[in-house]
Amino acid sequence: MIMGSLKASLFISLDGVTEDPDTWHFPYFDDQMGEIVGRLMGEAEATLIGRKTYEEFAAYWPDADPDDPITQQMNGSRKYVVSTTLTEPDWQNTAVINGDIAAELTSLKADTNLGTAGSPTLVRWLVEQGLADELHLLLHPVVAGRGQTLFGDSKSVPLTLLDSTALDSGVVHLVYGRAR
């Protein structure tokens, strides 16, 4: 029996902010982080994103440099958008998940390795629902000062630290799983 998984990953600041990483993330992106991000993307057979992230990505990637391998990956891979408002996605290889989202995702991840891209609201929900098998946080050594935090007023969810790696940039890659 083939078993898939769902690995959620986010860039996060020391004060828990995940919003607008483009304003604080890039000074810390280096080859080590690129290797981690590339590995996570490569392990995913399909990408799971929320509607807001979908709209941002769909406005950028279809017209990005077609010779860039990341552009090829983003446009060519299967994408699933979790949304109750989006009905007709126009970005290639994209399907919408709505209705009983937990049941649809449980069914999908039974035989598909899913990875998230951005989408902090979706990631929070996945963790709260116990649907994320792994939560990868790239913790940046910066206080963003303002913006949406990952968990805010979330319910308590116990997790287990599976791995941690300090990068030369000061970023720490933390990998959590559901508590046993």
What's the helix, strand, coil split of the chain in %, to 5? 30, 30, 40
Specify the CATH number for the domain of residue 85: 3.40.430.10
Q: What predicted TM-score, i.e. pTM, was given to this entire model?
A: 0.92
92-151 pLDDT, tens digit per residue, is 999 999 989 999 999 999 999 999 988 999 999 999 999 999 999 999 999 999 999 998
How many domains, in total, are found in the chain? 1
* 13 Cβ contact partners less than 8 Å away, ≥ 6 residues apart: 24, 139, 140, 142, 143, 144, 147
pLDDT of 2 over the 70 cut: no
Q: Could you list the residue range(s) of the whole structural domain that residue 33 is in?
A: 5-178
Alpha carbons 85 and 123: distance in angstroms, whole number = 18
In whole angstroms, what separates CA 7 from the centre of its chain?
7
Burial of 52 (0-12, 13-18, 19+ CB in 10 A): middle
pLDDT of 1 over the 80 cut: no
